[in-house]
Chains A and B, each alone.
Chain A
Amino acid sequence: EIRLLESGGGLVQPGGSLRLSCAASGFSFNTYAMSWVRQTPGKGLEWVSTINNPGSSTDYADSVKGRFTISRDNSKNTVFLQMNSLRPEDTALYYCAKGGARWTYFDYWGRGTLVTVSS
């Protein structure tokens, strides 16, 4: 069974930092791209970032470029999202998602970790 378990969310002040982690199991982790997708409370989904399977290539949404960094440790089946210079508009539920045969879609999702940016 494929499982994705996010952690690291919490309450942080504007301008602060958080590091999210996603522990994966049940599949060959180093074969698939991994992504983060966020959902604002009561609103829709927003793709945040993707990293390819070896970890050599990354992509970011314009809204987080220069502030967020995605990385992965294939030896530990874990993907990370380092979030710096956080803004109130970054408040959301952050999902970790496994890429399908192409990175452009997400065939398994975690349950999410909530990030709240507020003073």
Chain B
Amino acid sequence: QSALTQPASVSGSPGQSITISCTGTSSDIGGYDFVFWYQQHPGKAPKLMIYEVSNRPSGVPDRFSGSKSGNTASLTISGLQTEDEADYYCSSYTTRDTVVFGGGTTLTVL
């Protein structure tokens, strides 16, 4: 199973909005509404930020939002804050009853 495709890096200034894309196929992202996003700060474990395309777990700020169109999912962070600087990973359930991750995107808040 090939990894989902994410940009290696994105950047933005405090207060701005950024969007991270995650491209898969009809066998994963396009086939189910089971797309998830994780945030990982250096040296820390990943943290679930979005589940099932657009739902936020309790405690995740509403500045984080998710969406999906066809085989591509997106994570948007509005009102960027310095603490948002981290790596972000998307993941999806697949037709093979497995989970696949994206390669990760490093967000830099300038």
A104 to B94, CA, bound (A): 9
Residue interface bits B16-42, CB-to-A below 8 A is 1, else 0: 000000000000000000101010000
Question: Number of contacting residues on B, CB 8 A?
Answer: 23
A35 to B36, CA, bound (A): 15
Interface residues of B in 27-59 (CB under 8 A from A): 34, 36, 38, 45-48, 51-52, 57
Does B3 make an interface contact (CB < 8 A)? Answer: yes
Q: Report A81 CB to chain B, min CB distance, Å.
A: 16
Contact, CB under 8 Å: A61 / B48: no
Does B101 make an interface contact (CB < 8 A)? Answer: yes
Q: Which of A37, A50, A104 has the most CB of B within 10 A?
A: A104
Could you say which interface size class chain A belongs to? 20 to 34
Contact, CB under 8 Å: A107 / B48: yes
Contact, CB under 8 Å: A110 / B101: no
Contact, CB under 8 Å: B48 / A106: yes
Interface-side segment among A11-19, A21-29, A40-48 = A40-48
Given A45-B89, A47-B100, A109-B45 contact (CB < 8 Å) = yes
Contact, CB under 8 Å: B101 / A45: yes
Interface residues of B (CB under 8 A from A): 1, 3, 34, 36, 38, 45-48, 51-52, 57, 89, 91, 93, 97-104
A-B contact pairs, 17 of them (CB 8 A): A44-B101, A44-B103, A44-B104, A45-B38, A45-B91, A45-B101, A46-B101, A47-B91, A47-B98, A47-B101, A104-B34, A104-B93, A105-B34, A105-B52, A106-B36, A107-B57, A109-B46
